[in-house]
Amino acid sequence: MRAERPSLIDPWPVRIVVGALIVGFVGLFLALPLYTLFAQAFAKGVDAYLRAIDEPAAWAAIKLTLTVAAIAVPLNVVFGLAASWCIAKFEFRGKQLLTTLIDLPFSVSPVISGLIFVLLFGLQGWLGPWLRSHDVQIIFALPGIVLATVFVTFPFVARELIPIMEAQGTQEEEAARLLGASGWQTFRRVTLPNVKWGLLYGVLLCNARAMGEFGAVSVVSGHVRGRTNTMPLHVEILYNEYNLTAAFAVASLLALLALATLAAKAALEWRGRTEIAS
Amino acid sequence: MRRPILWLAAISLVLAGSAQAQTRLLNVSYDPTRELYVEINKAFADKWKKDTGEQLLIEQSHGGSGKQARSVIDGLEADVVTLALAYDIDAIAKVGFVKEDWAKRLPLNASPYTSTIVFLVKKGNPKAIKDWADLIKPGVEVITPNPKTSGGARWNYLAAWAWAKDTNGGDEAKARDYVTQVFKHVPVLDTGARGATVTFTERGVGDVLLAWENEAFLALKEFGNDKFEIVVPSKSILAEPPVAVVDSVVDKKKTRKQAEAYLTFLYSPEGQEIAAKNFYRPRDKVVADKYAATFPKVDLVTIDKAFDGWTKAQATHFADGGVFDQIYKPGAK
């Protein structure tokens, strides 16, 4: 065996070096920071940890972060599905442009993303005075934070779905149409089931980013404690107030949310595999 | 798919509902006042409840003074602004949200407390930094925030300038040389005073922090006298952080009465006592005498005498293309 396919099996020294590199890298850049985070959070005991979290401003930040994610993620699911469906299954003019635009939030710095909304909706911006006269508050309030988050998390679902849909081609949809299914039926019964694992995966990524976003949200938040501070912003404030235990406690909550997301992802992949196998 | 939407509706109803239960005031302030206003807000809300029966929720937002003014101009609905320097409130007045005469509506240039700029150094003062001249000794790293965004940083800059000008018999060119030298010793510019303090105290960057006196005292309180010590220079600047009601907001929200009472409370003996406890120099004579031991006597120049007021100082030094832009070249040696 070994003689027939030598290129597939690396010599032992290479394996050991590469393995050590990977373990070292993961340990240094992922495991160690995570350990430090929880160690700092519990440095003054479980009581101090709970007290740090059970505080009105912390609760408000948690509530706001969950609210923002609960609005931004469904919006981007709808958009991502629509966009990837169009791009993967149809030919039209401007397709290349649409694909590029979807990627835009990846290439623009989050701070700029936030500033765009200040320039648009701020009182000195284009729409600001009109909004103020109609008593609508966009930036420095929930809508602005949601907008910034939606913008930043825009590509996650679409980017996840486009390659899957493209790989699957259009034959199944064509068959469905020939058998008399309507457009909506085709989408619901054929396209959607085919991409559901990819979709869920995109949702998880989108959600993780929505809850963790700092830069863009920081620009449009106004930093009103207990009202417009999301969890990442609240962590920064606590840190700046020399309140290390509380800062790390809230940060550990964020990390837990991320870990839960990862666990959900692993579970999904496992289910996906068993479903395909059966 | 229908359920999540119902949930969303429910959540937003709850959020909106809780929002209207009480009168809210938003105080948009500069960086180091967090602890001060936590205490002030509680004391004032208690007093207001007792006097009028109305429950007040006073919210606070903190950041570099210039950045905070920018947010108010962009539509952050502050009932009151309590910023680091008069120019930042003037900037809000320029777009018409605050009346032009704001500085005369409250006593003492609308500054209920004052402060000054001091040095914070490591315990034992290993680099022997005694006065402004020592900042430009070889090997000394100076920490100060960015004068473009931070009010404290502008006071730092002007205090340095005022000292150099006086020391050199009023020679502006020599003062400019000195300040240029100082900024060559600055490894990093944070956007706000608190960021700079954290850089110095927690990240251990630099040999001396140019800081608000209150910020320096707070760092001593947080980290202990055995880690840092305060050095008072021979000359510094009288910093008058001003406060104002934002007229456009209080008229719209109908909160003028509460907002004005809130600012007046800062001048009351109780408010002055809280300010002094948080290391801001009180204006009230009785309270000032009580805390005289806390605050060292320093030769303080005023912005009006040394720089002809904030408008002029801002235009000369901190506007785009001004002196600061000319002398500060990041990375240049």
Each residue's pLDDT tens digit, B77-112: 999 999 999 999 999 999 999 999 999 999 999 999
Beta bridge partners of A109: none
Is the model's pLDDT at A6 over the cut of 90?
no
Tens of pLDDT, residues B135-181: 999 999 999 999 998 999 999 999 999 999 999 999 999 999 999 99
Percent of chain B predicted with pLDDT > 70 = 93
Which chain A residues touch B11 with a CB distance below 8 Å? 67, 70
Picking from A63, A70, A225, the nearest residue to B60 by CB comes out as: A225
Q: State whether B75 and A139 contact (CB < 8 Å).
A: yes
**Chain B within 8 Å of A182 (Cβ-Cβ)?**
no
Band of pLDDT at residue A276, cut at 50, 70 and 90: low
A30: how many CB neighbours lie within 10 A of its CB?
10
Helix (H) or strand (E) holding A98: helix A95-107
Look at A123 and B26 and tell me if their CB atoms are within 8 Å: no
Residue of A nearest to B196 (CA): A240
Question: Residue A240: what pLDDT?
Answer: 86
Q: Is the pLDDT of residue A250 over 90?
A: yes
Report residue B115's pLDDT band, with 50, 70 and 90 as the boundaries: very high
Average pLDDT over residues B66-75: 94
* Arithmetic mean of pLDDT over chain B: 91
| Lowest-confidence region among A6-15, A49-58, B265-274, B291-300 | A6-15
Cβ-based contacts of A67 with chain B (< 8 Å): 11-12, 15
The answer to whether residues A52 and A249 touch, using CB atoms and an 8 Å cutoff, is yes
Across the interface, whether the CB atoms of A140 and B75 are under 8 A apart is answered yes
| pLDDT of residue B17 exceeding 50 | no
3-class SS at B318?
Answer: helix
| Residue contact B222–A124, C-beta within 8 A | no
Q: Do B265 and B329 meet the contact criterion of CB atoms below 8 Å apart?
A: no
Cross-strand bridge partners of residue B301 = B237
Residue B269, pLDDT score: 96
Which of the four pLDDT bands, split at 50, 70 and 90, describes residue A8?
low
Residue A142 identity (one-letter amino acid): L
Closest chain A residue by Cα to residue B1: A74
The answer to ipTM > 0.90 is no
**Is the pLDDT assigned to residue A7 strictly greater than 80?**
no
- Name which residue leads in pLDDT, A165 or A3: A165
Q: Find tokens 């929200």 and name the residue.
A: B253
Summarize pLDDT for B238-266 with one digit per residue, the tens.
Answer: 999 999 999 999 999 999 999 999 999 99
pTM of the model as a whole: 0.85
- Asked if A140 reaches chain B (Cβ–Cβ under 8 Å), the answer is yes
Residues of B (7-46) whose Cβ lies below 8 Å from A:
7-8, 11-12, 15, 26, 34-35
Which residue of B13, B35, B36, B76 to mutate against A (max A Cβ within 10 Å)?
A: B76
Q: Is A240 on the interface with B (CB under 8 A)?
A: yes
Q: What is the mean pLDDT of residues B63-90?
A: 94
Q: How far, in Å, are A11, A70, B16, B21 from residue B7 at the CA level?
A: 57, 9, 14, 22
pLDDT level of residue A2 (50, 70, 90 thresholds): very low
User: Which residue has 């393995």 as its token pair?
Assistant: A19
pLDDT confidence of residue A269? 78
Distance from CA of B102 to the nearest CA of A (A): 21
Query: Measured between CB atoms, which of B15, B62, B75 is closest to A123?
Result: B75
Percent pLDDT > 70 in chain A is 95
> What residues of chain B lie within 8 A of the CB of A137, using their CB?
75, 77
Measured between alpha carbons, how far is A183 from A42 in angstroms, rounded to an integer? 55
Please state the rounded mean pLDDT for residues A42-65.
91
Q: What is the pLDDT of residue A64?
A: 96
**A59 contact B CB<8A:** no
Cβ contacts (< 8 Å) between B222 and chain A: which residues?
Answer: 242
Which of B8, B60, B63 is facing A70, going by the closest CB pair? Answer: B8
Chain A residues with CB under 8 Å of B73 CB are 123-124
Q: Does B4 touch chain A (CB under 8 A)?
A: yes
Q: Which of B62, B71, B149, B253 would you mutate first to test chain A, the one with the most A CBs within 10 A?
A: B71
CA distance B93 to B106: 16
Q: Two tokens at A91?
A: 């030919």
Let me know: does A83 contact A166? Beta carbons within 8 Å. Answer: no
- Residue B80 at interface with chain A, using a CB cutoff of 8 Å: no
Range from A129-143, B77-91, B107-121 carrying the lowest mean pLDDT? A129-143
Is A122 in the B-facing interface, judged by CB distances under 8 Å?
Answer: yes
- Nearest CB among A74, A123, A240 relative to B74 is that of A123
Answer yes or no: is pLDDT of A168 > 70: yes
Contact of B223 with B285, CB cutoff 8 Å:
no
Is there a contact between B73 and A123 if contact means CB atoms under 8 Å apart?
yes
Q: Which residue has the higher pLDDT, B19 or B265?
A: B265
pLDDT of residue B11: 52
> Between the CA of residue B60 and those of A57, A65, A110, B24, B295, what are the distances in Å?
11, 19, 25, 11, 27
First to last CA, chain B: 62
Q: Is B293 on the interface with A (CB under 8 A)?
A: no
Residue of chain B whose Cα is closest to the Cα of A136: B75
Band (B6; pLDDT cuts 50, 70, 90): low
- Higher pLDDT: B12 or A214? It is A214
What's the whole-number mean pLDDT along residues A142-165? 94
Q: Is A124 on the interface with B (CB under 8 A)?
A: yes
Mean pLDDT throughout A62-85?
A: 95
Whether B74 and chain A come into contact, CB under 8 Å, resolves to: yes
DSSP states of A235-252 as a string? HHHHHHTT-HHHHHHHHH
The 3-state secondary structure of A117-162 reads HHHHHCCCCCCHHHHHHCCCCCCCCHHHHHHHHHHHHCHHHHHHHH
Chain segment A169-221, per-residue pLDDT in tens: 889 999 999 999 998 999 899 999 989 888 988 999 899 999 999 999 999 99
Question: Phi and psi of B43, rounded to 5°?
Answer: -60, -45
In angstroms, the separation between the Cα of residue B299 and the nearest Cα of chain A is 31
